[in-house]
Structure 1
Amino acid sequence: MGVLDLKQIPRVKTISKEVFIKEYVIPQKPVVIERLTEDWPAYTKWSLEYMQEIAGDKEVPLFDDRPINSEFKFNEPHASMKMSDYISLLKSQPTRYRIFLYNLLKEVPSLQKDFTFPDIGLRLLKKLPFLFFGGEQSTVFMHYDIDYANILHFHFHGEKQCILFPPEETKYLYKIPHALISHQEIDFFNPDFDKWPALQKAKGCVTNLSHGETLYMPEGYWHQMTYTTPGFSMSIRATPRGVVNFTKAAYNVFLMRHFDNLMRRLRGQKWIDYKNSKAITKTHKVNNIKG
């Protein structure tokens, strides 16, 4: 077993648009902005109790940490329950159940009055942001986003750990072919370097987000989120700034995703097993690892 090479993500209390673009967006470096949301009504209002009160009657999709297989895709829920029951579960005990990419602000329009789109120099997409909820120790496995967006990730209620790797570290992360994830058997908290030797070369970064803090994740960054306490987050996205990543995003959305779905239908679990095996052999070949 081993320890990943992770540095702490830089933090600032506040930041100007000009400094944010110059020091973080242009060089594509992550940063935590601690007080970006302090003037939002959400900063004082948003808690699990408030969400339970205002959205308790909504039926919500739930995900857990089971490996992707031929039955369940990356973005396909495993269960559902009323929001009130789900939040009661979060508050009563650790659970692996998460809410992932849920448009609660569309279901409960009054929540839209609780935040504003930050004037921070990004071309923010003004469609309604998604919310993410998780129970204590629930984890979103290591992945990067299909659209190569610049992401502002706002956390509320409790604390979550965020592990990030820049795109140039992909060759060490056992990326699954025709997918956006790393091999799901990897334990990024306690990696087995005998089984996953390329991980020893990967250089990433880490931070713990508390209520009201904002993480900027640059384009194509790998990320794994773990809720150290029950809580929830909201993400606002901005389009890629360059042609290269815009082209990669278009390929993912219009070609790669559909090809992978077709192969799932044609080959089922054999396709999943093939991709998992290929992730290992390709990573070891690229890094000249024998055996």
Structure 2
Amino acid sequence: MNEDKSPLHPAWRQWLAENLALGVSVEDVQQMLVQAGVDPALAREEIAAVGQHPYFKAALQVARHFGWLESLMDVYSELRARDGGRELEVREGVSPEEFFRRYYLGHRPVVLRGLMKDWPALGRWSLPYFRERFGAVEVEVMVGRDANPEHAAEQDRHRARMPFSDFLSKLEAAGETNDFYMVPRNDNWGREGLAPLRDDLRAPAGIIDPSLRPEQLTLLLGPAGTVTPLHHDNMNILLGQVMGRKQVRLVPSFERHRVYPHRGTFSHVDAAKPDLAAHPLFAEASVLEAVLEPGDMVFLPVGWWHWVKALDVSASVTFHHFLVPGGNTHLDAPF
């Protein structure tokens, strides 16, 4: 059968080949096609044709390799679960040596307390403080997020510039919303006007490069209700919660197949209200959870999936230049 002359829409042919290669039964894919309005005879014909196509046979071989990797990750996930891997550790007094041995090199997240005791920011940062010292500074923020479910991946569509005082007024009046946010992808640290804010921070001794150059850290500031959807970063991150509280949910990097990846580093799953009918494997995911209070830090290992929601007007900073060779460990995703 010449697939170019097939009456079945190309998107359905792609869906058919993908699902058969991933092990969905012939009966289930046929039923789905028929329910979508495809004639049963055409559905059977297309399924038979796909099975004979050399491209599909190549895809099937790739899927088998993929399946082996998933199986190995499932075994690893089960072993880690028996070793406390289903709980997010909360620690105080962790030495740099233990941090790197158990968490950085162990690829484990952890909430760290007590590392921000010497931060002037904990006593200073507030909306009035920001307004008094930096109100006239022009900043870049993301706006109109509620109108676009893909706002996190399509950040360039949402950039806006305004005086910091105007942004602070929006924060004061907003209540709970996800419509606007100052995110790490805004270059506000590097702008001269906000540079003095870095003087209110301290690098965790023995863990983070003490120089605190602008390119080594980021600022997040937004209203209660701000949500960062489930995603992962391609390097290790240490996030410090300065003002307000944030709820975090994490899923291990080695459970990637359970979060239904989307656009590489994002997930199709709404971690706040997972649709287990659409994403049944997420029911098997190891979801680790915590509420970060001012003064808490959370280590997010490279590749670990995380969802974050601000419970109050919230200010956070992230560090990504550790005291290791090269400054960090990076995930070089193939595509």
Q: Same fold (TM over 0.5)?
A: yes
Is structure 2 residue 286 aligned with structure 1 residue 203?
A: yes
Shift, 1:109, TM fit: 2.3
Is structure 2 residue 221 aligned with structure 1 residue 140?
A: no
| 1:61–1:95 distance in 2 versus 1, CA, 3 Å | farther
Match of 1:23 in 2: 102
Is structure 2 residue 316 aligned with structure 1 residue 228?
A: no
1:112 corresponds, among 190, 198, 213, to 198
Match of 1:182 in 2: 267
Larger CA deviation: 127-136 vs 7-16: 7-16
What CA distance in whole angstroms lies between the structure 1 residues aligned with 2:167 and 2:207? Answer: 36
Q: SS of 2:100's equivalent?
A: helix
| 1:35–1:75 distance in 2 versus 1, CA, 3 Å | farther
1:95 corresponds, among 160, 177, 180, to 177
1:154 corresponds, among 219, 240, 248, to 240
| 1:20–1:240 distance in 2 versus 1, CA, 3 Å | closer
Counterpart contact for 1:125–1:238, Cα < 8 Å: no
What CA distance in whole angstroms lies between the structure 2 residues aligned with 1:202 and 1:162? Answer: 15
| 1:58–1:79 distance in 2 versus 1, CA, 3 Å | same
Match of 2:114 in 1: 35
Shift, 1:19, TM fit: 1.8
Q: SS of 1:235's equivalent?
A: strand
| 1:240–1:44 distance in 2 versus 1, CA, 3 Å | closer
What CA distance in whole angstroms lies between the structure 2 residues aligned with 1:180 and 1:124? Answer: 29
Structure 2 stretches lacking a partner, 5+ long: 1-80
Q: SS of 2:182's equivalent?
A: strand
Instruction: Give the partner amino acid of 1:141.
Output: P
| 1:78–1:67 distance in 2 versus 1, CA, 3 Å | farther
Match of 1:194 in 2: 277
| 1:175–1:73 distance in 2 versus 1, CA, 3 Å | same
CA shift digits 1:122-142 (9 cap, x unpaired):
568843211011211110111
Is structure 2 residue 134 aligned with structure 1 residue 81?
A: no
| 1:240–1:119 distance in 2 versus 1, CA, 3 Å | closer
Instruction: Give the partner amino acid of 1:227.
Output: A
Match of 1:288 in 2: none
Shift, 1:182, TM fit: 0.8
Shift, 1:7, TM fit: 5.0
Larger CA Rg, structure 1 vs 2: 2
Provide TM-score, normalisation by structure 1.
0.73
| 1:239–1:171 distance in 2 versus 1, CA, 3 Å | farther
Counterpart contact for 2:302–2:331, Cα < 8 Å: no
| 1:218–1:112 distance in 2 versus 1, CA, 3 Å | same
CA shift digits 1:153-197 (9 cap, x unpaired):
0112111111111111110111014x31112xx331221211211
Shift, 1:231, TM fit: 0.9
- Computed over aligned residues only, the root mean square deviation of the Cα atoms, in angstroms, reads 2.9
Shift, 1:88, TM fit: 2.1
Counterpart contact for 1:125–1:236, Cα < 8 Å: no
1:68 corresponds, among 125, 140, 150, to 150
Structure 1 stretches lacking a partner, 5+ long: 257-291
What CA distance in whole angstroms lies between the structure 2 residues aligned with 1:209 and 1:131? Answer: 16
| 1:35–1:111 distance in 2 versus 1, CA, 3 Å | same
Which of the pair is proportionally richer in strand?
A: 1
4+ runs deviating over 4 angstroms? 5-8, 122-126, 239-243
What CA distance in whole angstroms lies between the structure 2 residues aligned with 1:88 and 1:154? Answer: 24
Equivalent pairs counted in the alignment come to 240
Shift, 1:227, TM fit: 0.5
Instruction: Give the partner amino acid of 2:271.
Output: F
Question: Percent of counterpart pairs with the same letter?
Answer: 25
Counterpart contact for 2:251–2:305, Cα < 8 Å: yes
Which of the pair is proportionally richer in helix?
A: 2
